[in-house]
Amino acid sequence: MAVTIGMLYPGFGAEDDYPFMEELLGEGVHLPLVHTSVGVDAHEVQALLDLGKSERLLEGADALRAALPDAVMWACTSGSFVFGWEGAHRQAQEVQEALEVPASSTSLAFVDACKALDLTKVAVAATYPEDVSRHFAALLNRGGIKVTQLVSHDIPTAALAGELDREGVLALARSNDSDEAQAILIPDTALHSARWINELEAELGKPVLTANQVTVWQGLRLAGALRPCDALGTLFKKTAPVAVGA
């Protein structure tokens, strides 16, 4: 089944995760990406509220129209959770109404991915300053997910988060684990992660959910086109239907 999931991605950082995941997911999955405009690249609440404002999202959605997407994702965690639970849903609704296809965002994808895996207690290893990270924890709590431990790494911009290499991402994941947590959540779509999810899970001994991973998963779920992928962690192994005869 061919499926196209349009990605609205702010600025530049780890957008190369998407063609990598497209290749992993195999023939028929298309993840066209539009870079939405950015005012000031800063992990600060006011800058993030500007990043996720309607004008930027709808301009990007219009640019995606020619791709004829089956679903669209606002591929940004911080630019959705700073709007709160209701605001994040309004963002998705605006894009959905503009393109007349299902839409969601990375923040809401984290909540839905946790629910799909029956996770109720998680630890969060965030790139953001603490005041920004707390908004993510609040959105998770509003979605019924308890944050047992929150670590903020105070990386000031998305561009700097995108510069973290494999060792940096592994160190980030290791920085925040607790016995109580059923999984580790690593927000920020500017952070490279897709290549190392299985390695992260093997080292930590529990599911790891990353921003770009859950974004693609949510888009496929909304389009009714989830498929298993052993290279993308527990989320894709346990929640995607297995084809008859497989």
Provide the residue-wise pLDDT of the chain in tens; the chain has 246 residues.
799 999 999 988 889 999 999 999 998 999 999 999 987 666 777 888 888 999 999 999 999 999 999 999 999 998 999 999 999 999 999 999 999 999 999 999 999 999 999 999 999 988 888 888 899 999 999 999 999 988 777 675 666 666 677 777 777 777 777 789 999 999 989 888 899 999 999 989 999 999 999 999 999 999 999 999 999 999 999 987 755 444
- Comparing CA positions, the residue from 235, 243, 242 lying closest to residue 21 is 235
What pLDDT, on the 0 to 100 scale, is given for residue 109?
A: 97
What pLDDT, on the 0 to 100 scale, is given for residue 246?
A: 40
pTM recorded for the entire structure? 0.92
What pLDDT, on the 0 to 100 scale, is given for residue 197?
A: 93
What pLDDT, on the 0 to 100 scale, is given for residue 16?
A: 93
CATH architecture of 3-239: 3-Layer(aba) Sandwich (3.40)
DSSP string of 129-188? Answer: -HHHHHHHHHHHHHTT-EEEEEEE-----HHHHHT--HHHHHHHHHTS--TT-SEEEE--
What pLDDT, on the 0 to 100 scale, is given for residue 35?
A: 96
Each as own residue / partner, the long-range contacts of residues 175-180 (CB below 8 Å, 24 or more positions apart, any chain) are 175/125, 175/151, 176/123, 176/124, 176/125, 176/149, 176/150, 176/151, 177/123, 177/149, 177/204, 177/206, 178/123, 178/148, 178/149, 180/121, 180/148, 180/149
What pLDDT, on the 0 to 100 scale, is given for residue 100?
A: 97
What pLDDT, on the 0 to 100 scale, is given for residue 158?
A: 62
